[in-house]
């Protein structure tokens, strides 16, 4: 089964490549805890649905042997409720100083 082209989101509604923090990020912990780099958008070839491809910028025993994580687009851009507050599941990092630090973390972890 495929999803009709008319039901696909516009490119402007897709999360751009870059760094994101998950709602579980602890601002008092390391800057890279629950922090991810979005690599791009993928398509499930069986269902036609879009997924977000990303990788953690912290060590995770759960990841091996995978190199990337994948989450359905609607879930990635969706909202969650935590401690009674509604918030985005992932939030793009726009602070240039923090992004520069995360680029260093990425280079140390992945080599590029």
* Res. 12 pLDDT band, cuts 50 70 90: confident
pLDDT tens profile 44-98:
999 999 999 999 999 989 999 999 999 999 999 999 999 999 999 999 999 999 9
* 70-74 long-range contacts, CB within 8 A, separation 24+: 70/42, 73/9, 73/14, 73/15, 73/41, 73/49
Domain residue ranges in the chain: 14-110
Whether the pLDDT of residue 22 is over 80: the answer is yes
What value does the mean pLDDT of the chain take? Answer: 92
Task: For domain 14-110, give the CATH number.
Answer: 2.30.30.320
Whether the pLDDT of residue 2 is over 50: the answer is no
């Amino acid at each position: 089964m495929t999803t009709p082209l008319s039901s696909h989101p516009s490119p402007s509604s897709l999360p751009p490549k870059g760094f994101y923090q998950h709602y579980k990020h602890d601002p008092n912990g390391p800057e890279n805890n629950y922090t991810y780099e979005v690599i791009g958008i993928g398509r499930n070839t069986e269902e036609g649905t879009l997924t977000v491809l990303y990788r953690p910028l912290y060590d995770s025993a759960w990841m091996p042997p995978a190199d990337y994580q994948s989450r359905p687009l609607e879930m990635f851009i969706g909202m969650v409720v935590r401690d009674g507050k509604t918030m985005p599941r992932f939030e793009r990092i726009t602070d240039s100083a923090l992004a520069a630090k995360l680029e260093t973390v990425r280079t140390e972890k992945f080599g590029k």
